[in-house]
């Protein structure tokens, strides 16, 4: 078996693609996999480090505003399709799998023109422009969120599978994780983070939250500032006269033990990226979501609303978040264990721990009918 994997630009497209590649290798031992991306995308660095063969095509993304530069982009897209066709004809894949990003377009179009079965996976509740266009050409579309199904053209073949998560997120033991993190049996762990780089609005709000709620021994805070934003967070804490040396407060710039922290958490404060929400829901954790407002097409707000509608999370918009409002929400939720339990159940019902297996099953369907 041979497979072409494509997807690029951001980690949100690349890491699911790598997870699917690993799943195909497990399903078909000895399968050869080729990853097609661009030289300028993150995939040019991440994919070779993963050990997969990598080839690039020349391409650049469309500007969202009207600009003459888009004429050059369209010309390059045509060139990219021709380059992708050449690679695919030589490699002769059994199927092509794409996870989004503008590199996905030329590769899937080239594969479709050569009658190679294609599958695209959409991570977000609001499908990206590339995947919406490709959905009418792709043999199969798989999605993370139920909400995204109605946003594809009717003729697209769409199935909800969920988004693959790291195996260690699924297997982390809650009791062991809580003991390792020093969470007492009577404490509720509030885990807050804004991604690997941090989120300024969440950091500023959490400094005030800790000031207001630090005296509550029944809550333990684990806050991840992000490497780039730790200094500003500490400065804000000093301005608010917040003491971080208490036993129920832990602040770190980066958390390597995130799978354990997720297993131990009772409530999460975070952004609404698809990968984060997939991990939260497979663990069944209630959340207060603060979507990143500058994500492409504001897709994080759509992701958040998909969970809010299921009563699995609450949402505060980024320009509305304050420490006082966030503290009120945390206090209300922690002091209402029945409500928190209901939210946890709703979150777990949205989780799809077999997402990778279901995506691979869809690939099987393309190959064997």
C-alpha 185/C-alpha 120 separation (Å) is 44
Looking at residue 102, its pLDDT comes to 84
Same fold, 2-165+353-368 and 168-350: yes
Quick one: fold of 168-350?
A: Rossmann fold (3.40.50)
Looking at residue 11, its pLDDT comes to 84
Starting from the edge strand earliest in sequence, which strands make up the sheet with 219-224, in order?
249-252, 219-224, 188-193, 267-270, 287-289, 313-315
- Name beta bridge partners: 290: none
C-alpha 186/C-alpha 225 separation (Å) is 26
- Alpha carbon of 201 to those of 197, 292, 298: distances in Å? 12, 9, 16
Looking at residue 369, its pLDDT comes to 77
* Domain assignments of the chain as residue spans, ordered by start: 2-165+353-368, 168-350
Measured between alpha carbons, how far apart are the two ends of the chain, in Å? 16
Phi/psi at 98 (nearest 5 deg)? Answer: -120, 145
Looking at residue 60, its pLDDT comes to 52
Which stretches of the chain score pLDDT less than 70?
A: 60-77
Looking at residue 65, its pLDDT comes to 45
Return the structure tokens found at 131.
């995947």
Return the structure tokens found at 279.
């991990």
DSSP class per residue in 183-224: --TTPEEEEEE--TT--HHHHHHHHHHHHHHTT-TTEEEEEE
Return the structure tokens found at 183.
């969470």
Number of residues written out for the chain: 369
Looking at residue 76, its pLDDT comes to 60
Burial class of residue 320, CB neighbours in 10 A (0-12, 13-18, 19+): exposed
CB 172 within 8 A of CB 205: no
Burial class of residue 264, CB neighbours in 10 A (0-12, 13-18, 19+): buried
**Is CATH 3.40.50.300 correct for 2-165+353-368?**
no
């Amino acid at each position: 078996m041979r497979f072409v994997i494509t997807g690029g630009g951001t980690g949100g497209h690349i890491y699911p693609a790598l997870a699917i590649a690993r799943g195909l290798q497990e399903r078909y031992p000895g399968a050869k996999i080729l990853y097609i991306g661009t030289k300028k995308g993150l995939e040019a660095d991440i994919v070779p480090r993963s050990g997969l063969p990598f080839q690039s095509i020349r391409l650049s993304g469309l500007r969202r505003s009207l600009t003459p530069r888009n004429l050059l982009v369209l010309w390059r897209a045509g060139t990219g399709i021709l380059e992708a066709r050449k690679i695919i004809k030589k490699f002769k894949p059994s199927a092509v799998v794409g996870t989004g990003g503008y590199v996905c377009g030329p590769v899937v179009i080239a594969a479709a023109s050569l009658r190679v079965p294609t599958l695209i996976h959409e991570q977000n509740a609001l499908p990206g422009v590339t995947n919406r266009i490709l959905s009418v050409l792709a043999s199969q579309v798989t999605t993370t969120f139920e909400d995204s199904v109605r946003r594809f053209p009717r003729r697209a073949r769409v199935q909800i599978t969920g988004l693959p998560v790291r195996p260690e997120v699924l297997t982390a033991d809650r009791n062991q994780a809580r003991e390792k993190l020093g969470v007492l049996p009577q404490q509720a762990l509030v885990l807050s983070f804004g991604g690997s780089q941090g989120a300024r609005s969440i950091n500023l709000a959490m400094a005030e939250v800790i000031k207001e709620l630090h005296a509550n021994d029944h809550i333990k805070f684990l806050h991840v500032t992000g490497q780039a934003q730790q200094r500003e967070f500490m400065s804000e804490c000093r301005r608010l006269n917040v003491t971080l040396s208490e036993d129920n407060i832990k602040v770190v710039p980066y958390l390597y033990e995130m799978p354990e922290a997720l297993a131990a958490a009772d409530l999460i404060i975070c952004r609404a990226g698809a990968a984060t929400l997939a991990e939260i829901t497979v663990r069944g954790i209630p959340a207060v979501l603060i979507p990143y407002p500058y994500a492409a097409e504001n897709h994080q707000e759509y992701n958040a609303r998909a969970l809010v509608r299921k009563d699995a999370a609450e949402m505060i918009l980024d320009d509305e978040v304050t420490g006082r409002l966030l503290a009120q929400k945390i206090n209300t939720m922690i002091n209402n264990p029945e409500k928190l339990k209901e939210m946890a159940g709703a979150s777990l019902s949205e989780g799809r721990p077999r997402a990778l297996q279901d995506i691979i099953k869809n690939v099987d369907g393309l190959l064997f009918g």
